Chains A and B, each alone.
Chain A
């Protein structure tokens, strides 16, 4: 049983489109995160939600909007996709100061 799952695994789309990535965790953690990994493998946090409430919101274009319908889900919606949005997006979950558990990633390619 996968602890943190993401869908889709791959996403290829045209510039200007709107897309969503879904994340689900079955670890019972209160906190969930979205990270972006660029082509050089650099990882940067985007958002953090604790019990459906936004905690961390790094400098991310407002085209990116996270939504947490419940504690086990954190989805990422991206409007008006741009070439520079191409990256791997990772969902993660974990407790305060504790180990984070990462999903397998969603590879987004914007053409």
Chain B
């Protein structure tokens, strides 16, 4: 079956540091890949997505590239802010509509 493995947290960084959160997946076929973000006390919201190999998703300074050869979709940001503190979920969507999530990575940015 499908699975998503993402970097264990929590991750704590100083403001303006470089961020990488690793995500690898196992799937049959050609899934779409997503990063969702959950701010404290809120529901999940889409951060970015990529629907085919070599696509790069980007939003709010975050980027992730769909790498079929390494089955990865790592999330990066060049300079994080305190407002980026949240839980980040990597996910894949198969043709049967089911969204499979990773375990989530809690990110805390300190001023």
Contact = CB atoms under 8 A, between A and B. Distances in A.
Contacts of A97: 31-32, 51, 93-95, 97
- What band does the interface of chain B fall in when counting residues whose beta carbon is under 8 Å from A? 20 to 34
B45 interface: yes
Interface in A50-105: 50, 55-56, 90, 92, 94, 96-105
Contacts of B96: 55-56
- What band does the interface of chain A fall in when counting residues whose beta carbon is under 8 Å from B? 20 to 34
A103 B98 contact: no
Looking at chain A's contact residues, is the secondary structure mostly helix, strand, loop, or mixed? strand
Contacts of B98: 45, 48, 56
Contacts of B46: 99-101
A42 B31 CA distance: 21
A56 B96 CA distance: 9
A48 B97 CA distance: 9
A55 B96 CA distance: 9
Contacts of A102: 36, 43-45
A68 to B, nearest CB: 15
Interface in B26-82: 31-32, 34, 36, 38, 42-46, 49, 51
A45 B44 contact: no
A41 B22 CA distance: 17
A43 B99 CA distance: 10
A31 interface: yes
B104 A42 contact: yes
Nearest to A90: B43
Nearest to B89: A43
Nearest to A105: B43
Interface of B: 31-32, 34, 36, 38, 42-46, 49, 51, 87, 89, 93-101, 103-104, 106
5 contacts: A42-B103, A50-B97, A90-B43, A97-B95, A99-B49
